[in-house]
């Protein structure tokens, strides 16, 4: 995956993590959201770093007719040209000084994850008893039934 795909994945993982946290994990342990974020971001950073430094060889993608990775610097070319697998090649070649930009992009995964998590909490609700803004798309009868079940659980 390229840098842009990593940003999109970070945002989506933050969104999904906020839903899982509100729906399932908050009842058991409040620290799960941080734990899942650390695991996901560590794995993503590790994979992207290994690809960037050519430890993971990405030239195996050359079997696809629309992918043409160079023999030297193929990991950097792969990361800078996001969506290469989907047939979109921006033809960005690595130049001196791009390591700084790559570092900022890797660090920005954390902020995109956080942004996805916060936006997900707005949609799904911050607490287990909150329904969030996605409630507009749900049937009212189902909402009333779930609200009564949640109130009964809180009373017990």
- The pLDDT of residue 138: 55
Average pLDDT value for the chain: 78
pLDDT digits (tens, 9 = 90+) for 49-104: 888 888 887 777 767 777 777 666 777 777 777 777 777 777 777 778 888 988 89
Angle, in degrees to the nearest 10, between helices 3-20 and 32-52: 170
HSE of 71, CA atoms in CB hemisphere, 13 A: 0
Tokens found for residue 91: 């033809």
Inter-CA distances, 121 with 24, 86, 116, 143, Å = 14, 31, 9, 18
Burial class (CB in 10 A: 0-12, 13-18, 19+), 113: buried
Query: Which among 8-12, 100-104, 118-122 has the top mean pLDDT?
Result: 8-12
What share of the chain in percent tops pLDDT 70? Answer: 77
């Amino acid at each position: 995956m390229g840098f842009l795909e990593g940003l999109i994945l970070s945002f989506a993982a933050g969104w999904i993590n906020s839903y899982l946290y509100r729906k399932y994990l908050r009842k058991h342990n409040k620290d799960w959201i941080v734990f899942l974020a650390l695991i996901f971001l560590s794995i993503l950073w590790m994979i992207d770093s290994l690809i960037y430094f050519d430890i993971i060889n990405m030239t195996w993608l050359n079997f696809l007719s629309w992918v043409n990775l160079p023999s030297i610097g193929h990991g950097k070319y792969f990361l800078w040209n996001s969506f290469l697998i989907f047939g979109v090649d921006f033809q960005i070649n690595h130049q001196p000084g791009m390591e700084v930009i790559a570092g900022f992009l890797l660090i920005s995964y954390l902020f995109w994850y956080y942004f996805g998590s916060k936006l997900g909490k707005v949609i799904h609700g911050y607490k287990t008893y909150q329904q969030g803004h996605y409630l507009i798309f749900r049937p009212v009868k189902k909402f009333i039934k779930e609200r009564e079940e949640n109130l009964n659980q809180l009373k017990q």
